[in-house]
Amino acid sequence: MYADIESRRRLPAHALVHLCRTEGAHRAAQARALLPIAHLNVGSRALHSRYNAIGCRARSLWYSEPGTQLHMRIFLLVTAGLVVLLFVYWGVIFYHKVQVGVALAGRAVAFNNVSQDYRKTLLVLGDSVAVGVGAAGPAETVAGLLASDMRATYTENGAVSGAQVSDLASQIEQLKLEHYNTILIQIGGNDIMRFHSEAAVAAELATILDALSKRADRVLLMSMGDVGTATIFPPILKPFYTRLSLAYHTAFGAIAKEHGVTYINLYTPREQDPFVKSPTTYFAADGLHLTSAGYALWYKRLQETITP
């Protein structure tokens, strides 16, 4: 019988497979013959014979005919090429949507009504969703809708696109009044997109809420719903963003409760999420920010949370 690998390599594939089966069966028979003598060793010997047969079959595939090897190489090259094309495709889409988002942010105007009438005051802090990027106009943002409903006579919006929780301190430094009737904070999306630790971000937020809760009758906190539903991101990232979004909602909700702040949890399971069912209706052209309809949905959740 062929004893060395070089001899085996010269065999046709079907002959090599037959040889492997024969050797495997022969070694298994040897293991069974040892049963009366060494009962405790039979299991290990038989298992060794089985693995040897499997290994031999694997080698038969490796040392198969040149045509099969060529087909395998072609398959691997085509697969690698498709993966590269997929990355390029999503890279182009992502770059395009980022440019659209930059344009939307450049055109966005935050809702403001800085007057001398301080009977009902509203302060808005946060990131681009607090500015209202993607909405048709300032009045159709969460800030604008809230100001209208509470009949605010004074609205100050210090939100900045791209802001993270760590940037709230600098926004607070710019405040014009010492006290407000209502403070609305919309923050967290940029921290999620950068995969920041929810525990570290929540610790920073706790300091901010401690300071702001002393300067308002009511503080409302909102974050992104489910970042994983945003169409700007490739499918491979979506599960990670969804998992992190849930972690943020849990952490933010706990911190808000500790400081007597009302937390508006915007998370909705995917099977019920309107942003998943109709993304073009609720997401702006960049696939990240919201349309007026999207902000209206968020505001509806805010109303449901604060209304007894």
Averaged pLDDT for residues 280-288: 96
The type of residue at 129 is V
Three-state SS at 54: helix
Three-state SS at 159: coil
Least confident of 13-17, 35-39, 90-94: 35-39
- The residue among 46 and 217 whose pLDDT is bigger is 217
For all residues of the chain together, what is the average pLDDT?
84
CB 160 within 8 A of CB 195: no
Q: What is the pLDDT of residue 273?
A: 97
> What would the pLDDT profile of 227-275 be if each residue is shown by its tens digit?
999 999 999 999 999 999 999 999 999 999 999 999 999 999 999 999 9
pLDDT band at 131 (very low <50, low <70, confident <90, very high): very high
CB 23 within 8 A of CB 56: yes
* Rounded Cα distance, 167 and 171, in Å: 7
* Rounded Cα distance, 265 and 302, in Å: 8
pLDDT band at 52 (very low <50, low <70, confident <90, very high): low
Tokens 């809708």 identify what position?
A: 145
* Rounded Cα distance, 193 and 84, in Å: 23
pLDDT band at 23 (very low <50, low <70, confident <90, very high): low
Predicted confidence (pLDDT) at residue 150 exceeds the cutoff of 80 = yes
Q: What is the pLDDT of residue 69?
A: 75
Interior angle at CA 275, CA 240 and CA 291, nearest 5: 115
Q: What is the pLDDT of residue 76?
A: 84
Burial of 239: CB neighbours in 10 Å, binned 0-12, 13-18, 19+: exposed
The upper half-sphere exposure of residue 90, i.e. CA atoms within 13 Å in the direction of its Cβ, equals: 12
pLDDT band at 73 (very low <50, low <70, confident <90, very high): confident
* Rounded Cα distance, 172 and 141, in Å: 21
- DSSP-assigned letter for residue 261: P
Choose the CATH number for 104-306 among 3.40.710.10, 3.40.50.1110, 3.20.10.10, 3.90.1150.10: 3.40.50.1110
> What would the pLDDT profile of 156-207 be if each residue is shown by its tens digit?
999 999 999 999 999 999 999 999 999 999 999 999 999 999 999 999 999 9
Q: What is the pLDDT of residue 77?
A: 85
Predicted confidence (pLDDT) at residue 35 exceeds the cutoff of 80 = no
> What would the pLDDT profile of 211-234 be if each residue is shown by its tens digit?
999 999 999 999 999 999 999 999
Averaged pLDDT for residues 22-48: 45
Q: What is the pLDDT of residue 53?
A: 47
Nearest alpha-carbon partner for 284 in 230, 248, 242: 230
pTM of the shown model: 0.74
Which residues fall within 8 angstroms of residue 56, CB to CB, at 6 or more apart?
A: 16, 19, 20, 23, 24
Q: What is the pLDDT of residue 200?
A: 97
CA distances from 52 to 20, 29, 46, 157, 185 (A): 8, 14, 10, 73, 65
* Rounded Cα distance, 30 and 196, in Å: 60
Which pairs from 1-10 meet CB under 8 Å and 24+ separation?
5/59, 5/63, 8/59, 8/63, 9/63
pLDDT band at 10 (very low <50, low <70, confident <90, very high): low
Structure tokens at 227: 């970042």
Averaged pLDDT for residues 115-144: 97
